[in-house]
Each structure stands twice: as C-alpha cells, then as structure tokens.
Amino acid sequence: MKIGIASDHGGYALKEAVKRHFNAIDFDDVGTHSAESCDYPDFVALLCRKIQKGELERGIVICGTGIGASITANKMRGIRAALCCNEFMAEMAKRHNNANVLALGARVLGDELAMRIIARWLDSSFEGGRHQKRLDKIDGIEKAP
C-alpha cells in the first residue's frame, strides 16, 4: 500500500519521526521538506490530489493542531479526513468512516501517542454494511450543487 505524508513547518519534525518509526512503509513524502515557515494547504492539497488520481491509497497530514490540515483535506472531493487525538478515534475513523486521510496535530500529540494512533489506523479495516450507506449519503452531499 502506498501512503502519502505531508506537513507544514509545524508538523515537519513529527512527519520525519513517523517516516523513521514506520520505516517499512514506502511513504510518498510530498513535503514540506524543512522546518521553514510554509502553508499547510499547499502540501495537503498535493497529497489529496494524488489520492483522487489513485496514485495513493491513504495519506497522513500533519500541522500544528491538525485542524487546518483536516479542514483543507475535507474540502477535496472523495477525501474523508479524520482528525484523531487517540487510538480509538483512529480505529473508528477507518472502521466506520473509511477515512482515507489521517490528520494529526504535532503540537497536540506526543510522538509516542502519534505513532500508536497511526498504527491503529493502519491496522484497521472498513466494516462496510450500514456504514457504507452513510458514506453514500456523504458522497451525495458532496456532489450536490
């Protein structure tokens, strides 16, 4: 599975720690590539466009709080980004909402907790069933004028 990862300057250190911790994963790192001040929408949008094109299956986006990154990701058609601050939320984001983007706040989470959240999200699978009906409704809302 090809997973994208993106951050702004506030999430850069955590992004690099994630890549080191999950070194068996071939991350597509779309940036940023330094701690120099930058704008998260640029990198989040780049990652999400790759998901839309089918180049990536999932993505992780990181900014200071995760809020801006999740808002940006959820503006894009077909993206279901979940801002998670604990393992249970990450599991449910995948199992019930089939979240294809995990948003994290580097200034909110410690590295150890962030790694556990990511691991739980990666290890979880979408349950389908009644949850698919709800995702279909969300897709309908997204496509409405």
pLDDT in tens, 21-75: 999 999 999 999 999 999 999 999 999 999 999 999 999 999 999 999 999 999 9
Per-residue pLDDT, 1 = 79
CA 71 to chain centre: 11
Residue 145 reports pLDDT greater than 90: no
Quote the percentage of the chain above a pLDDT of 90.
96
pTM for this prediction: 0.96
Return the structure tokens found at 18.
Answer: 């994630």
Q: What domain count does the chain have?
A: 1
Q: In which domain, by residue range, is 39 found?
A: 3-143
Report the CATH number that the domain containing residue 131 is assigned in CATH: 3.40.1400.10
Residues classed as catalytic: 63, 96
